[in-house]
Amino acid sequence: MTSRNIIIGALLTALALIIPLSFGAYLKIYIPPFSATLASHVPVMIAFLISPLVAAMVGLGSTLGFLIMMGPVIAARAFIHVIFGVTGAYLVKKGMTFEKALILTAPIHALGEALIVLPFGTGMYKAFYLVGVGTLIHHFIDSGISVALARTVLSKALSKIG
């Protein structure tokens, strides 16, 4: 991994920690067992554009942030960020567009989070409809934010760094 990727990964990881820790109270939607912190997926989604290793690092940072702020069940759900992040980064690395990678990782993300809550006494309905569909919607909202950032601010910043 290059120094550039380590630095970008560290900055994205910092954002993945800051979003739940500092903005969680303002950006959180909570309908038990579903919870969503708007923009919390943006750092890992942007990491798709860097590398699978950076995406894993950012996903782990997100997991830590949610562990501190929301506890182990939400942190377990956040660990899915590592899985869909690495998958999305791999797809981009193989030549897929950022937008298509975001679309293809949405079911992995939603299904993963739904499966995580099942062992904690959540019924099938709540797990798949509340958590799964809620995560899918949240994924697409954060995808829109990520695409807007990637097309504007980040494309200019990354081209100046590289």
Task: Give the CATH number of the domain where residue 131 resides.
Answer: 1.10.1760
Q: How many CB atoms lie within 10 A of CB 131?
A: 26
Provide, for the chain, the percentages of residues in helix, strand and coil under a 3-state DSSP scheme, each rounded to the nearest 5. Answer: 80, 5, 15
31 within domain boundaries: no
pTM of this structure = 0.93
Check residue 30 and give its pLDDT.
Answer: 87
In a domain, 32, yes or no: no
How far, CA to CA in Å, does 23 sit from each of 6, 79, 152, 159? 25, 19, 23, 29
pLDDT digit string (tens) for 82-129? 999 999 999 999 999 999 999 999 999 999 999 999 998 788 889 999
In a domain, 125, yes or no: yes
- Residue 20 belongs to a domain: yes
**Residue 34 covered by a domain:** no
Number of domains in the chain: 1
- Tell me, what amino acid is at 39? A
Does 126 reside within a domain?
yes
At 34 the pLDDT is: 87
Inside any domain, residue 30: no
pLDDT averaged over 10-residue windows placed end to end, the chain, 162 residues: 92 95 86 90 97 98 94 94 98 97 98 93 88 97 96 70 50
In a domain, 101, yes or no: yes
Give CA separation, 56 vs 59, 82, 104, in Å. 5, 5, 17
**Measured distance CA(136)–CA(131) in Å, rounded:** 8
Range of the domain at 53: 3-25+39-161
